[in-house]
Amino acid sequence: MNSVAHMHVTLALEADLGIDHWPGEEYTYSAHYHHNGWGDERTYAGEFTAPSRTLDYRIYLPRLMEDFTERGGVMEYRDLSAGEIHALTDVHDLVVVSTGKGEIGAMFPKRTDKSPYDRPQRKLAVGFWHGVARRDPNGVEISIIPGVGELLAIPMWSFSGPVMALLFESVPGGPQEVLTDQRFEDDPEAYRKLTLDVLGRYHPTVMERVDVDGFRIQGEQDILQGGVTPVLREDYVRLPNGKFLLALGDVHLTVDPVQAQGANAAAYSARVVGDAVLEDEVFDERFMKKVASRRAERIEAANDWINTMIHNPPMPQIPALLTAMVGNQALADEFTENFNYPIRQIDLLGSEARVDAAIERAAARTTVPAN
Ligand SMILES: Cc1cc2nc3c(=O)[nH]c(=O)nc-3n(C[C@H](O)[C@H](O)[C@H](O)COP(=O)(O)OP(=O)(O)OC[C@H]3O[C@@H](n4cnc5c(N)ncnc54)[C@H](O)[C@@H]3O)c2cc1C
C-alpha cells in the first residue's frame, strides 16, 4: 500500500534488466508543479530531463515477481519469525532481509547518528481518487502550506486506469491531521467531504482541477492512513553461527514518502547487492562491508535530504529555497531533476550556505549578461 513514483534512474535499472514492461506515456509524468503557501508569487514548475513512472504497485510488483520466477527464482509465501530467518543462513549462501517491521526490523540496530526522530514527523493519508484532472504536461503537484503540511497530487495508473493519488502529509497537531485521524471506513462519505474541505481550504491549485460531483475513491482498498518513523539501520548483523544477514529496502532505510525516495533507494541498493554477488563467491564480512560502503553515500544522502525536509519547525533554508525557485527556472529544474540524485540534492539543500550558493549559481545560469 503506497503511491510510488519510480524516477528515471530507477527505470534505467529496470530497462537494463529487461523488466521495463510499461513504455506507455499514460504511466509517466515529466514535471513538478509547485504551490507555496507564502510569498506573493506562489506557483512555479520544474521539469525532469526524462519521465518518472507511477503505476500501482499492486500491478507493478506481481509482474516483476513473474520475471523473477521465469528466470528461475522461487517464491514462497509464509510468515517468518526472526528465528526462522536466522535458520535460513544454514541453507543459503546469502540471506538478504527486506521487511522493516517489528522484531525483524529490530534485528538490525538503529544508527543513532543518522536517525534523528523517534516518531513520525508527518501524519499520512493517501487515497486513489477519481475526479481530479491531470495537468498538461502530466506532473505531480506539490502544495506546501506552513504549519499544515504538504499535499502531493500524484497521477497514478491503477486497476481502473488513471486516478489521482492524493497524499496528504500533515504536520502533527496542525489542521490537516484530521485526514489521518478520522478513519475512512467509519464513514466514507463524510471522509470524502472532509477531503474536499481540506483541498478547498489549503490547496487551491489542486482544488481547481477537482470535479466535485465526480470526486470519489477508486475503491475501499484504495486508502491508507498512518505514519512513518524515519530510521537508518546498520547494513548487516553477524549471527551466533558466524553467518550474516544483509538489510535491504525499508528495513535498512525507512524515509517519509514526501520526496518519493524509499523504493528508488531500495532499487539502487538492490543493484549494488546484485553487482557484488556477481563478482564474489564468499558472503562473509568482507562482502557485507563492500556492499555497505558502495551504497552508503547515496543511501545516507536520501536519509539526510528527507529528514531535512520534514523537520518541525522547517529548517530555515527550506522556505528560502522554495521561495527562490519561484523566479529561478534553473533552480526549479535542478531541484526537480535531483529527485533522481539524492547526493546532489543534499549538496543543494543541506544548509543555509548551500541553498544561498545554489540560488546564486542558478541565477547566473538564467541571467543573460548585459552588453
Ligand atoms: C504513501 C507512500 C508513498 C510512497 N511513495 C514513494 C515514492 O513515490 N517513491 C518511492 O521511491 N518510494 C515511495 N514510498 C516508499 C516505498 O513504498 C517503500 O520504500 C518500498 O515499498 C519498500 O520496499 P520493501 O521491499 O523494502 O518493503 P515492503 O514493500 O514493505 O515489502 C516488505 C514485504 O515483506 C513482507 N513481510 C513482512 N513481514 C514478513 C514476515 N514476517 N515474513 C515474511 N514476509 C514478511 C510483506 O508482506 C511485504 O511483501 C512510499 C511509501 C508510502 C507509504
Encode pLDDT of 254-264 as tens digits. Answer: 999 999 999 99
The ligand 1 atom nearest the CA atom of 79: 42
The ligand 1 atom nearest the CA atom of 98: 26
Handedness of CA 37, 43, 49, 50 (dihedral sign): positive
Q: How far apart are CA 359 and CA 337, in angstroms?
A: 16
Residue type, 134: R
Q: How far apart are CA 156 and CA 53, in angstroms?
A: 8
From the CB of 263, is ligand 1 less than 6 Å away? yes
Residue among 88, 123, 250 whose CB has most ligand 1 atoms within 8 A, to mutate: 250
The CA-based dihedral angle spanning residues 35, 39, 41, 45, taken in that order and rounded to the nearest 10 degrees: -30
Whether the Cβ atoms of residue 97 and residue 251 lie closer than 8 Å to each other: yes
From the CB of 150, is ligand 1 less than 6 Å away? no
Buried b (16+ CB within 10 A) or exposed e, 206-223: bbeebeeeebebbeeebb
Q: Which of 42, 47, 319 is nearest to 205 (CA)?
A: 42
- CA 71 to ligand 1 centroid distance, Å: 23
Q: Quote the DSSP letter at residue 266.
A: H
- CA 357 to ligand 1 centroid distance, Å: 36
Residue among 1, 4, 273 whose CB has most ligand 1 atoms within 8 A, to mutate: 4
From the CB of 126, is ligand 1 less than 6 Å away? yes
Q: What is the structure's pLDDT at 303?
A: 98
Give the mean model confidence (pLDDT) for residues 182-198.
Answer: 98
From the CB of 3, is ligand 1 less than 6 Å away? yes
CA of residue 182 relative to chain centroid, distance: 24
Domains of the chain (ranges, CATH numbers): 8-55+123-227 (3.30.9.40), 78-117+229-309 (3.50.50.60), 317-366 (no CATH)
Give the mean model confidence (pLDDT) for residues 19-35.
Answer: 97
- Per-residue pLDDT tens over the stretch 222-255: 999 999 999 999 999 999 999 999 999 999 999 9
Query: Is the full-model pTM beyond 0.95?
Result: yes
231 Cβ contact partners less than 8 Å away, ≥ 6 residues apart: 105, 110, 111, 115, 253, 254
C-alpha cell at 367: 541571467
Q: How far apart are CA 317 and CA 36, in angstroms?
A: 14
C-alpha cell at 224: 491508507
Question: Is the pLDDT reported for residue 141 higher than 90?
Answer: yes
- Per-residue pLDDT tens over the stretch 48-60: 999 999 999 999 9
From the CB of 79, is ligand 1 less than 6 Å away? yes
240 Cβ contact partners less than 8 Å away, ≥ 6 residues apart: none
